[in-house]
Amino acid sequence: MDVVIAGAGPTGLMLAAELRLAGIDVVVVDALPARTGESRAGGIHARTMEIFDQRGLMDRLLPLGRPIQAGHFGGLRMEFGDFPTRFPFTLGIVQAVIERELEAHATELGATVRWSSPVVGIRQDDDGVEVEVGGPDGGVIRCSFLVGCDGGRSTVRKLAGIGFDGTDATMVGMLADVELAEPPAGTVFGQRRGSGDFSVIQFQPGWHRLMVQRYDRVLDRAHEPSFEDFRESFREVAGTDFGMHSPRWVSQYGDAARQADRYREGRVFLAGDAAHIHFPAGGQGLNLGVQDAVNLGWKLAAVVRGQAPGELLDSYEAERFPVAARVLQNTRAQTALSRPGAHVNALRETFTGLLDVDDVRFRIGLMITALDLEYDVKGDHPLTGRRVPDADLAVGGEATRIHRLLTAGRPVLLAFDDGVVPSVDGWADRVDRVQAQRGAERWTIPGVGDVPAPAAVLIRPDGYVAWATDEPDAEGLDEAMTTWFGPATVSAAC
Ligand SMILES: Cc1cc2nc3c(=O)[nH]c(=O)nc-3n(C[C@H](O)[C@H](O)[C@H](O)COP(=O)(O)OP(=O)(O)OC[C@H]3O[C@@H](n4cnc5c(N)ncnc54)[C@H](O)[C@@H]3O)c2cc1C
């Protein structure tokens, strides 16, 4: 087996699909007997939608969700409608639906998901990992790499001896999915009160998610809340229970913020909540995990296939660790902004004024949506290291757009007819060369502004730019292809 993935949550399923796209043998093992159908997350952001769109998944996910033209920071509303993306909104879509669709996508590509199969032990040597799997069909699976996508309490992380430092919970949040006899008006309703705040979100007609956050007590994992616990706590803060009944799910969460001290121990990697946990403010965790998976997938595949050197895998932690660290910081800030009291009220008022300033709104909104990411990629073109915009273009006279070129999960060298058309000789087995007619003279890059559309651009499978040029030559292209996709293949004729 090439790769074992522990955990069939959004991160593990996305990673499995990415590896299968690249033809890698993969099995996903999960401790649960079956998918629960429960949903912690209720929404995804623009960059994740772009990532899904790059693989053709938005065609199935968009009709299953509800676009909301805004997001928030610590509960303070921010408009996203003018963000430079094809998806300038938050998509309200429950985690269970995302998982169902990702599982279908991964299994259509040939991945296997084994339920009732917890990882209980690991042993690694220079050539591979022995993964001990419990459950009725348990046993040992030997693989080249193991990826722990097994959530915040990750067994893989513990077995690999990777530390998980950070800050403890300072509050408690509870949620319940219920029906309401007397629902408030609107699809989203929330208020701040004495000791906390509450919100009511209509997921579907007749089905509401209620959340209550309290700052006068702290999360106690030893005590699983009952529906009655939830109702009482909600009533204490909101003064009403909106006639809640028929609970489907009750759960609790806190604002502990922790990050794995490294994302790799030899042949074992961590991704998603296994690598980072934080308060669910702004709905960023699932997004982060899916983007970890898409960053790691093509790199792992290239190394498993023997095309790229093992050092390529070091770029996974180098690129993704700072992104999660930033999310931990912004969620801590959001918790601070959410506490009750006159001082925080004053801070919120100040912040509300700041968010009216477009530059501030863009800066914070682009961070929450992850549209502004810039990986440390060699090159001084303003596009290098940033996500390629989904610009319109035509290929062979047919109208299309850039993200459509990434569906197969392969690197793409995109060159425009009126510029240089560089060769990919030596990499033709793994880099697709596309010659196109540009649809726009300028591209808008979040956090940068408008730049001239380049003459040619080398796009990694995750949609980030490995190299770009405005000049009629291809200086630096071979070096970029070697760095990211491995050395050139020497043809037999040479
Ligand atoms: C109240 C709340 C609201 C949220 N809202 C949002 C939101 O709107 N947007 C957003 O982006 N994020 C949100 N999140 C965060 C999001 O739910 C998580 O970040 C996301 O589920 C992480 O996905 P994952 O695949 O990394 O881990 P998980 O979803 O935790 O999946 C881990 C999987 O690993 C399995 N597993 C565990 N142990 C083992 C083992 N030993 N062997 C094998 N399998 C194992 C588990 O059974 C599980 O299926 C929210 C979280 C909470 C608590």
Q: Where are the domains of the chain?
A: 3-167+257-369, 172-253, 392-485
Pocket flag, ligand 1, residue 233 (CB < 6 Å): no
Pick from 192-201, 263-272, 460-469: least confident: 192-201
The mean pLDDT of the chain is 94
Residue 282 in this model has a pLDDT that exceeds 90: no
Atom of ligand 1 nearest to the CA of 285: 19
Residue with token string 């087995």: 429
Residues forming beta bridges with residue 168, ordered by sequence position: none
| For residues 467-472, average pLDDT | 90
Q: Give the span between the Cα atoms of 271 and 8, in whole angstroms.
A: 12
3-state class (DSSP) for residue 189: strand
Residue 25: how many CB atoms within 10 A of its CB? Answer: 16
Pocket flag, ligand 1, residue 6 (CB < 6 Å): yes
CA of 151 to the centre of ligand 1 (A): 5
Task: Tell me which H or E stretch contains 443.
Answer: strand 442-445
| Range 392-485: architecture per CATH | 3-Layer(aba) Sandwich (3.40)
| For residues 191-207, average pLDDT | 87
Q: What percent of the chain has pLDDT over 70?
A: 99
The pLDDT value recorded for residue 494 is: 40
pLDDT tens-place string over residues 222-258: 889 999 999 999 999 999 999 999 999 999 999 999 9
Here the tokens at position 44 are 């995804």
Residue with token string 């996709």: 485
* Closest CA to ligand 1's atom 19: 285
Q: Give the span between the Cα atoms of 426 and 415, in whole angstroms.
A: 17
Q: Which of 15, 95, 296 to mutate to test the pocket of ligand 1 (most atoms within 8 A of CB)?
A: 95
172-253 under CATH 3.40.50.2300, yes or no:
no
The DSSP 8-state label assigned to residue 407 in this structure reads T
3-167+257-369 under CATH 3.30.300.30, yes or no:
no
Pick from 276-280, 329-333, 348-352, 447-451: least confident: 447-451
The pLDDT value recorded for residue 419 is: 66
Q: Give the span between the Cα atoms of 430 and 43, in whole angstroms.
A: 34
Residue 447 in this model has a pLDDT that exceeds 80: yes
CA angle 464, 466, 468 (to 5 degrees): 105
E strands, 25-75, where? 26-29, 43-44, 66-68, 70-73
Residue 37 in this model has a pLDDT that exceeds 90: no
pLDDT tens-place string over residues 286-296: 999 999 999 99
The DSSP 8-state label assigned to residue 246 in this structure reads E
What is the spatial order of strands in the sheet that 268-270 belongs to?
Answer: 112-114, 26-29, 3-6, 145-148, 268-270, 264-265
* Closest CA to ligand 1's atom 33: 7
The pLDDT value recorded for residue 493 is: 45
Q: Are strands 139-143 and 129-133 parallel, antiparallel or unpaired?
A: antiparallel
The DSSP 8-state label assigned to residue 229 in this structure reads H
Q: Which of 97, 120, 133, 286 to mutate to test the pocket of ligand 1 (most atoms within 8 A of CB)?
A: 286
Residue 214 in this model has a pLDDT that exceeds 50: yes
